Structure 1
Amino acid sequence: MERFPFFIFSSTCLFFISKFSVAVDTISPNQTITGSQTLVSAGEIFELGFFSRGSSNKRYLGIWFKRILPQTVVWVANRNNPLTNSSGALTIGLDGNIVLLNQTETVIWSSNSSSVPKNPVAQLLDSGNLVLRDGSSGINPEIYSWQSFDYPFDTLLPGMKVGANLRSGQIWYLTSWKSEDDPSPGDYTYKIDYRGLPQKVLCKGSDVQFRSEPWDWVGSGLPELYKNSLFNPIFVFNEEEVYYSFENINKSAISRFVVNQSGSVQHISWNDRRLEWVVMMTLRKDNCDDYDICGAYGICNINNAQNCKCLKGFTPRSPVDYNALDWAGGCVPGSPRKCGSEEGFRKFTDTKLPDTSTFNRSMSSMDCEAACLNNCSCVGYARTGILGCVFWFGDLLDIREYSEGGRDLYIRMAASELDSKNNGKPVAVIVAGSVVSGLLLFVFISCFTCLFFVSKFSIAIDTISPNQTITGGQTLVSAGKIFELGFFSRGTPNKRYLGIWFKSILPQTVVWVANRNTPLTNSSGAITIGRDGNIVLLNQTETVIWSSNSSSVPKNPVAQLLDSGNLVLREGSNPKSYLWQSFDYPFDTLLPGMKLGANLKRGQNWYLRSWKSEDDPSPGDYTYKIDYRGLPQIVHRKGSEVRFRSEPWDWIGSGFPELYRNPLMNTIFVFNEEEVYYSFENINKSAISRRLEWVVMMTLRKDNCDDYAICGAYGICNINNAQNCKCLKGFTPRSPVDYNALDWTGGCVPGSPRKCRSEEGFRKFTDIKLPDTSSYNRSMSSMDCEAACLNNCSCVAYAKTGNLGCAFWFGDLLDIKEYEGGRELYIRMAASELDSKNNGKSVAVIVAVSAVSGLLLFVFISWNTYELKLFQAWKLWNEEKPLELIDAFMEDPVPEFESLKCIHVGLLCVQKRPNDRPTMPTVLLMLDSENVVLPQPKQPGFYTERFPVEKDSSSSIVKKTSTLNDVTVTMLEGR
């Protein structure tokens, strides 16, 4: 205790320095940091001091960014041993180490270096690294006896390492916080697994959650990290060290990798303009990144509606399980292997190499196949560049298929399988859900799940009538003993709810709650039929705290719990006439027969809402509903903020391609004047009944590109690209600096300004998710979509919705995604941005204008006088028979659309008024482009006027009918 007052005195003097002094970034022996005092790095980038989180009295010594609010802590010394009050001091101890003392001067944390300098100094660097070094003059200040960078927290800063020193045994890895307000070690770790080829793994406890591609001399294992405008990745793999690090390209940029308490590993960057952290990359980015999702010898492809299937030459270990979407059992060889006897290797391309390999760096890659074939335990191999082979000796796990950029994998199998064609059954995907993870998903649960448990000897009590009640531990049970209704509590025992759950599934799975907003506060409470004929829930004072509240009640009311999980109020004599049903008021769960959407006539909305927490069924932050403004689409929101949006749903598709071709359920989509909703019904009635656990089969928000508007206006997201976002063709970043820094929120703008109705056209984009917020016209012919959009200066894009119907967009195009099997979108842009494709296409009709004679020549058409043929062309055009102009004996017939285009352009070139005729550059654009909208031609000028002439649009004079042969001479000149 004798030194403590001296510590206080010396530190006070130290920190009341003149305002003209340089920031204090070091402490020496006999100096301390206490209370609110801090060390600040020389460039005032980082700060070291004491902090607390939330309302806790626990205090920690940490490092954070000095000028960023809210406080962002990147390293904590005493995360396992917090101070319990405002006392505590950081100093250089008697042994030369950096030490943290509590109020009794007990060391609760130490740098604990076995090699300490003679003149120890602790310094906070501008890198965020706290170092212990020798402060003597003449000693290299970059020689450290200890550094905080060797003991990472949840954050990887530039210059830090994740990996291992193979000689010293030093391991560098990240560990999440326990919670947002508790920096003690959490469940998740992110480290290098260097058994075999090094690979990055994210673990929850000891369970692997994610694994990168194995990292060899060809690639890093994370293709997303290459071609990066924000930072340079550093990969080291030699006899002494194996690690990953990075350095920022822009030295003034602030970015970091972080593993958060929910198990997400992200690269985030500080945006000075928006004053917030922006997520640049998430390394675990889609469902196929979930570890071993498809089981042994299964392969995952995120672009397939059904993500998992067996590798070619393999079949499901349990076809029943695999068809029920339980892939954990994996696959087995289609034919048994006989070592050394008629075996070979099948090559699989563009794959993520499997888990747990061994490697030989000195072996020639040409010798890999022979080496594997000569070892009966070897099941597969891969080559690692010019030198080196990788081998696998157990079941092949965690394989995925990329669209491009993956590796070649050679898998051993019987010769009979190498020649056979594998027409394996597709693997189906259904949707299950979790509220715990903070995402509200559909919970698609088979209404026959519990048939396995039904007793054939008992009859369930499934109804109550007036003067009957359900109280205490009493329940209603549906006739088939599938569902049960009664009272339950979660977490807080004095809050009780009336709910419906699966009768024979443990732990209890609640699917509907009546009084989620008004829980009972004790064990009293009763459900009965009220005097007004409604189902009512009464508290201990017999006050109604919940009611079915139907305005139309039956004469003989009965409440019944059905085997579908639906609680209904009906007329006792009519079992099918429901005056009220719980299915009209969904909870967080969608059961077969329930609807998600709206009754447009009644104004009834059906949507899902999450629990507030795992133990609190009151309304949470997340909703999942149909947005039926414009084309209907399913949206997932947190409060009013859209987190996810499905593909717009029209008469071609549902917005969820994953739900088609599904052997477990039939999807139902209804979209008419009265209703718009989604529902489903089960095909396989025992699909999930054999396993006594819930298994997540599919999440509808499945990858980074499903994050709403991640690429900003006119940006497009492709999950298969290293950098997911880019501007649509014909558009450029609004802020190139932000876009190059992977901050895409500002979006993109047209490369050339649009001039309405002046040399504009449409570019066609294929295989995309249509943008947000459309309007539609179902009665319009799809052939008229282009003209309708072009004639409205506010229209920026259109899409065709089948044989009938058009969708239009009138604002910035948001939330566009590129994927196989997507839709076609036509976006308006200046003609200068459209491609001019001159690929020598043959045409049926070629237009030429003679400056001398002014004659219009139709090639391939035999005619005697231009007047007769021009009259014929104009007449056939107005009768919608222009193709009759084509000579039937043409040697090389050409596509009709090209013939029509040329006839169309020809008539535009000979319109009576010169101002109506297109310029020659425009003619070339019309002929070369596939997407330019052509205006309707007006009466030709060469035409002998046998009919009244239309009023000239530029004059108020109406010309008289004339029988004279008025001829307009057209000249070929640029305008």
Structure 2
Amino acid sequence: MLLVKELQQPLQLILKRLCIQRRSEARFLEKETTVESGYLWAIPRRPESDYKISLFFLLLNSASWNPKSAFPQPSSFETMGLVRNTNLSALLVLLCCFRLEFGSATDTITAAKFISDPETIISNGGDFKLGFFSPPNSIFRYVGIWYANISVPTFIWVANRNNPLKSSSGILTISQDGNLVVLDGQKKVLWSSNLTNFVVNSSAQLLDSGNLVLQGNTTGIFLWESFQHPSNTFIEKMKISTNVRTGKKLQLTSWKSRSDPSIGNFSAGIEVRNLPEFFIWNGSRLIWRSGPWNSWFFIGVPIMYSAYRDGFSLVDDKEGTFYITFTFWNESFPKHFVLNEQGNLLQASSINEEDWEVTWSSFQTECDVYGKCGAFGSCNSQNTPICSCLRGFEPKNTEEWNRGNWTSGCVRRTPLQCERVNNGSDGGKKDGFLKLTMMKVPDLADWSSAREENCRNQCLENCSCIAYAFDASIGCMPWTRSLIDLQKFSSGGIDLYVRLAYSELDTKEKVKVIITVTVIIGLIFIGICTYLLWRRRKSKMLLYKFSGEEKLGDNVNQVKLQELSLFNLQELASATNNFHQSNKLGQGGFGHVYRGKLSNGQEIAVKRLSRASGQGQEEFMNEVVVISKLQHRNLVRLLGCCVEGEEKMLVYEYMPNKSLDAFLFDPVKVKLLDWRRRFNIIEGICRGLLYLHRDSRLKIIHRDLKASNILLDEELNPKISDFGLARIFGGNGDQANTARVVGTYGYMSPEYAMKGRFSEKSDVFSFGVLLLEIVSGRRNSSFFSCFQAWKMWNADNIVALTDPIICEPCFQMEILRCIHVGLLCVQDFANDRPTVSIVISMLKSEIIDLPLPKQPAFTERQIAPDTSSSQNNPSKCSVNNVTVTMVQGR
């Protein structure tokens, strides 16, 4: 009783101050009971305030102090409870159990201090948050960790990524067995840390590193941590690891899409094949590799030579585990790596705490794709084509190689000495090594402790060794398997030595022979070169004669004419039976096109410029200038030209299947165009446009892309023709204006038809119209057709928009995607349209989530009256089967 009286006054004071301070936040029990000896106040363990008060009991044993008068009435609080107790021993027990908790950290979760949707906790340093979120365009709820100070939500870890909450009733708490769990509204466990051992009084804490850890309250040892279960993001101090003994790996795994964080198709991590490297996989297929680690950086990533070498470290713990981690020298800006939904590993940093800037990506060129050029093929993004066989090797499949499919790789041309000896023939001279500088070394390297001076001899003495390289930090790297994933860098990389037969090497004796042969036949070559130069000079003089130097304009300054065959008028007249009407293939605003056969049997198509055409002279010269430099499988090939008197003609390769419109709009021939053939035509046109816009030395805008200007070879492969209206951009130019709008209405972009402004987005618009024609099988007779296509798509009436010939259920998704892409291409404003490269990615489903197309607004606008195209003869349509440009509207 004395003990109670001694504690009474200080406890009263503490309670009074605490209740006054936190009056608006405390929540009390709902019952009130009167007893003789005093009052018992009860406050639950988990109020909503930051300073939570654990359940405590306070005995008020003095008749002179009444809590009802000392504190506000129960109506001032949420609820208030007063309990009397008449058992003194019970009161003493309750007094001994009294515990007052003045506050707890906001970065910790316990069984009593859980968080429910939409509550969050924040790390002690304020850098990271943990709580519930919904990805963009998703109604599902997930538990994740994200940056607290970046305005754009960036999630670095997701707990229940494969099992989302379907409502906002989720709870993150500690279960009875000590596990960290995510519960739904019915208390069903959707995710758990899955500790197998029972843990008493465990708690979870969000650290300043962004790591969520689960620990016991006595040991302080991490029982579980989110860093050991990474999502798609690699942040500082995190470890990506592999254990070569147990096979256990910690890898990044991509999201399925921006709105779906469940595990996607791509993964990235460390793998040790004699030497540790970083890889990216698409399922089980390897698609990217970093090259070996040399104690400072990955030697297959040139940018690491300077930008990142101080931040990364790869550690071998000598117990079978290799792990990589990084910490950048400048810690003031958040930085991380993320494996996106397309399998591209991106490095991003935030300078202004508002958005992320991508500073590096794993796939910067086509050469970064694993094994792009196959075995013994080297990839160089600066060359065209990008793949080439190493010296001493030749394509394994020449036909595929010439078509741009390099995956079959190359094979050795001359057997090595060991192979010749094993075949029973004379071994001859010893093999040597071809030195390749600034290379990304091949995959599947072995390792040897040999020093640099012994590395070469060791490889030469081993019949299985076909190449070697040496790095001071790695040591000797020999290769005994096919050399795959070779890449030539413009900077960085190391020297690679490839073993070749002696006859394939450049020796002093071979140099002497070459010099001798050159001297002997030099006079012959001089004579031939003199003749060719004279012929070229004559051709240019004839061209300048009829067009004048001023007619060429800037095009001649930008592109020098390639050596073209110069045909004479009599030769072309004989080939076309004196331009007989029976050989006429088509006609356009600039003249007629005839089929012909040269004396050597080669079939040709002759485009004869009309003498009455006032515009044809400039377009003719433009077509010669542009096409003379274009070499692509999806562009028509110019064989030569003829300039005699008033006659001006272009000679093209002959296309036996004529033009696309001859098939697409013919009720009989259209049946030959099944969906696979149509999609192949769409892809071919895209590849041709990509070459014109991006891959050729100068950017070229076609300006007259339409069905009649798409020619089809014997296998129905498309070739873009008619470059009479094309414009060349040099350097950084990407758009221009013209006072003379020429082309074909229905395919013109709004900004070109009304304002004369054209760019690569003008060709994209024309391609969109062409794509919708291919899918629907109907000719675009006016701008209103695009609007009608959009209305049918918006109404989900795809069947009415699709040609019945290709309406097969198995192709519905692919056809729907093509229609979607076509509508994106014909949007009113150029900025809303995708580039050709993005169009290709969309068609190949490399970009999964497509934006919604806007309503084509061009249908309600009037065409500018000053365009040089006219619509005086709307009924006239082109029957061009080869290459004709119409300057009158159709």
Q: Structure 2-normalised TM-score?
A: 0.50
Query: 2:832 aligns to what?
Result: 639
Alpha-carbon contact 1:486-1:498 (below 8 Å) kept? no
Residue among 690, 711, 717 paired with 1:564:
711
Displacement of 1:377 in angstroms is: 2.7
Counterpart for residue 202 of structure 1: 280
Question: 2: CA distance between counterparts of 1:78 and 1:350?
Answer: 45
Q: Letter of the aligned partner of 2:396 in structure 1?
A: R
Which secondary structure does the structure 2 equivalent of 1:146 belong to?
Answer: strand
The amino acid of 1:614's aligned partner reads R
How many residues align? The count is 506
Code of the aligned partner of 1:328: T
Residues 332-380 of structure 1 show CA distances to partners (whole Å, capped at 9, x for unaligned) of 11201242743333232211000122223x4444443344334433322
- For the residue of structure 1 that corresponds to 2:356, the secondary structure is strand
In the TM superposition, what whole-angstrom CA distance separates every residue of 1:897-924 from its partner, at most 9, and x where no partner exists?
xxxxxxxxxxxxxxxxxxxxxxxxxxxx
* Corresponding residue SS for 1:509: helix
2:362 to 245, 269, 283: 283
> 2:415 aligned with 1:327, yes or no?
no
Distance 1:623 1:227 in 2: 44
Q: Verify the 8 A CA contact 1:129 1:149 in the aligned structure 2.
A: yes
- Greater share of strand residues, 1 or 2? 1
The percentage of aligned residue pairs carrying the same residue is 33
Q: Assess if the C-alpha contact under 8 Å between 1:485 and 1:499 holds in 2.
A: yes
- Shift of the alpha carbon at 1:85? 2.2
| Corresponding position of 1:382 | 469
Output the CA distance in 2 between the equivalents of 1:99 and 1:498. Answer: 65
The unaligned stretches of length 5 or more in structure 1 are: 424-441, 450-476, 489-496, 514-549, 551-558, 567-588, 626-635, 646-673, 676-682, 684-975
Whether 1:193 and 2:281 are equivalent positions in the alignment is no
Deviation track 1:387-421 (CA, whole Å, cap 9, x = no partner) reads 73223222111101123321122222222222478
Distance 1:498 1:151, change over 3 A: farther
Change (3 A) 1:116 1:297: farther
In structure 1, how many angstroms separate the alpha carbons of the residues matched to 2:399 and 2:333? Answer: 54
Counterpart in the other structure of 2:396: 317
Please list, as runs of the form range in 1=range in 2, the aligned pairs for 1:603-642 lying within 5 A after superposition. 604=743, 607-609=763-765, 614-617=817-820, 619=822, 621=824, 638-639=831-832
Residue 179 of structure 2 aligns to which amino acid in structure 1? N
- Cα gap change, 1:208/1:21 in structure 2, threshold over 3 Å: closer, same or farther? same
State the match for 2:318 in structure 1.
Answer: 239
Please give the alpha-carbon distance, in whole angstroms, between the structure 1 residues aligned to 2:383 and 2:671: 34
Q: Which amino acid aligns with 2:711?
A: S
Deviation digits for residues 104-143 of structure 1 (CA, Å, limit 9, x no counterpart):
333221112346755422000111110112333xx55xx4
- Tell me, yes or no, if the aligned pair for 2:50 and 2:103 is still in contact at 8 Å: no
Query: 3-state DSSP class of the match of 1:373?
Result: helix
Alignment of 1:298 with 2:377, yes or no, is yes
- Relative to the length of structure 1, the TM-score reads 0.46
Q: Structure 2 CA distance, aligned partners of 1:394 and 1:181?
A: 43
CA distance in 1, matches of 2:682, 2:406: 29
Query: 1:350 aligned to 2:497?
Result: no
Q: CA deviation at 1:235?
A: 2.5
Write the deviation string for residues 716-773 of structure 1: whole angstroms up to 9, x where unpaired.
xxxxxxxxxxxxxxxxxxxxxxxxxxxxxxxxxxxxxxxxxxxxxxxxxxxxxxxxxx
- 2:676 corresponds in structure 1 to 506
Distance 1:357 1:385 in 2: 16
Separation in structure 2 between the aligned mates of residue 42 and residue 414 of structure 1, nearest angstrom: 66
**Match of 1:759?**
none
The structure that has the greater radius of gyration is 2
- Judged with a 3 Å threshold, the aligned counterparts in structure 2 of structure 1 residues 54 and 276 are, in CA distance, closer, same or farther, namely closer
**Deviation sequence 1:547-569 (CA, Å, 0-9, x none):** xxx9xxxxxxxx99687269xxx
The alpha-carbon distance between structure 1 residues 316 and 505, as it changes in their structure 2 partners (threshold 3 A), is: farther
After TM superposition, give the deviation of residue 292 of structure 1 in Å. 1.5
Cα deviation, residue 48, structure 1: 0.9
Whole-Å separation in 2 of the counterparts to 1:231 and 1:498: 68
Whether contact under 8 Å (1:500, 1:565) holds in the other structure is no
Change (3 A) 1:210 1:39: same
- Give the aligned residue type for 2:475: G
When residues 620 and 601 of structure 1 are mapped into structure 2, their CA distance, relative to the original with a 3 A threshold, is same
2:182 to 100, 121, 124: 100
Residue aligning to 1:176: 254
Structure 2 CA distance, aligned partners of 1:175 and 1:560?
A: 44
Q: Is 1:266 aligned with 2:413? A: no
Backbone CA RMSD of aligned residues:
4.6
Per-residue CA distance 1:284-305 (angstroms, 9 max, x = gap): 2112212222221111122234
1:206/1:443 CA distance change after superposition, 3 Å: farther
Whether contact under 8 Å (2:312, 2:325) holds in the other structure is: yes
Deviations 1:682-717 (A, max 9, x none): x9xxxxxxxxxxxxxxxxxxxxxxxxxxxxxxxxxx
Give yes or no for the alignment of 1:373 onto 2:431: no
Q: Which residue of 1 aligns with 2:447?
A: 359
1:30 aligns with 2:112: yes
Distance 2:148 2:377 in 1: 49
**Counterpart code for 1:326:** N
Residue in 1 that maps onto 2:615? none
| Candidates 76, 81, 87, aligned match of 2:158 | 76
1:28: how far off? Answer: 1.9
- Would the alpha carbon gap of residues 443 and 600 (structure 1) be closer, same or farther in structure 2, given more than 3 Å must change? farther
From the superposition, tell whether residues 278 and 447 of structure 1 become closer, same or farther in structure 2 (CA, over 3 Å): closer
Provide the residue aligned with 1:153 in structure 2.
231
CA distance in 2 between partners of 1:206 and 1:357 (Å)? 20
Deviation, structure 1 residue 193:
2.6
Return the letter of the residue paired with 2:255.
W
Asked whether the 8 Å contact 2:290–2:298 carries over to 1, the reply is no
Q: What amino acid is the match of 1:601?
A: R
**Paired letter, 1:211:** R
> How far did 1:155 drift?
0.8
- Checking the alignment, whether the CA contact within 8 Å between 1:481 and 1:503 is kept in structure 2 is no
Q: CA deviation at 1:215?
A: 2.0
Corresponding residue of 1:947: none
Letter of the 1:259 partner, please give it: L
**For the residues of structure 2 that align with 1:415 and 1:331, how far apart are their CA atoms?**
19
- Among 226, 240, 249, the alignment partner of 1:162 is 240
Structure 1 residues 176 and 512: CA distance shift in structure 2, 3 A:
closer
Counterpart for residue 213 of structure 1: 291
After TM superposition, give the deviation of residue 254 of structure 1 in Å: 0.9
Contact 1:445 1:592 in 2 (8 A): no
Map 1:437-516; keep pairs closer than 5 Å. Answer: 446=634, 479=657, 485=663, 503=673, 506=676, 508-509=678-679
SS in 1 for 2:327: strand
Aligned partners of 2:661 and 2:707 also within 8 Å: no
Paired with 1:47 and 1:498, the residues of 2 have a C-alpha distance of 65
Residues in 2 aligned to 1:126 and 1:36: alpha-carbon distance in whole angstroms? 21
User: Any idea what SS the aligned residue of 1:42 has?
Assistant: coil
Kindly state the Cα deviation for residue 95 of structure 1 after the two structures are TM-superposed.
2.4
Q: Which residue of 2 aligns with 1:253?
A: 333
For 1:234, give the aligned amino acid. S
1:593 aligns with 2:786: no
Partners of 1:318 and 1:123 in 2: how far apart? 59
Q: Is the CA contact 1:99–1:109 (under 8 Å) kept in the aligned structure 2? A: yes
The residue identity in structure 1 corresponding to 2:288 is F
Q: Does 1:408 align with 2:484?
A: no
CA gap of 1:239–1:398, structure 2 versus 1, over 3 A, is: same
